[in-house]
Structure 1
Amino acid sequence: MDSTIRTAIAAADGDDPYRALRQLHHARIELTRELDRAEALAVRRARTAGASWQVIAMALEVSKQAVHKKYGRG
């Protein structure tokens, strides 16, 4: 992932703006996926450790309802 981001950033200074935009777009998608996975893992670990939805929501700076809707099970 790190090399994908470095390549995309370097391409922004290149001669082909279309290529740069495509690489930046794909790097953003990859980074977002990785961050989403890491956040989901951290939420599961926090819940397992006894954290309330309210505490998790405060850490993520979202509403309790939003975090529960995204990560809650039924």
Structure 2
Amino acid sequence: MASSMDLATGAGSSDPAVGLRAVASLRRLAEQLEALQVARARELGWSWSRIAAELGVTKQSVHQKHGGRDTAAKRG
């Protein structure tokens, strides 16, 4: 995995192939971090509304994106 410095440098590259790969890696990293933080917030009893407010999205969108994980965790 590339370091954050490598990703930042790559995102600013004049070579579109390098830049786009860096953007894709940053997107994957952001998605992983979001999933981890949403799971943690739910473990701490945060409501979907509160999580959505912190992310700047609607309650429906955050629940649709992460709600299945919440249910799966309770079953496991």
TM-score by length of 2: 0.79
Does 1:42 pair with 2:37? yes
Counterpart contact for 2:7–2:26, Cα < 8 Å: no
Work out the CA distance in 1 between the residues paired with 2:10 and 2:67: 37
Work out the CA distance in 1 between the residues paired with 2:61 and 2:10: 34
AA partner of residue 67 (structure 2): G
Matched residue, 1:6: 9
AA partner of residue 28 (structure 2): R
Give runs of aligned pairs for residues 1-74 of structure 1, distance below 5 A: 1-2=3-4, 3-9=6-12, 11-12=13-14, 20-73=15-68
Question: How many correspondences in the alignment?
Answer: 66
Give identity over the alignment, percent. Answer: 36
Q: Structure 1 unaligned runs (5+)?
A: 13-19
Q: Cα RMSD (Å) of the superposition? A: 1.4
Over 3 Å off, 4+ runs: none
Counterpart contact for 2:49–2:59, Cα < 8 Å: yes
Q: Structure 2 unaligned runs (5+)?
A: 72-76
Larger radius of gyration, structure 1 or 2?
A: 1
TM-score by length of 1: 0.81
Counterpart contact for 1:8–1:24, Cα < 8 Å: yes
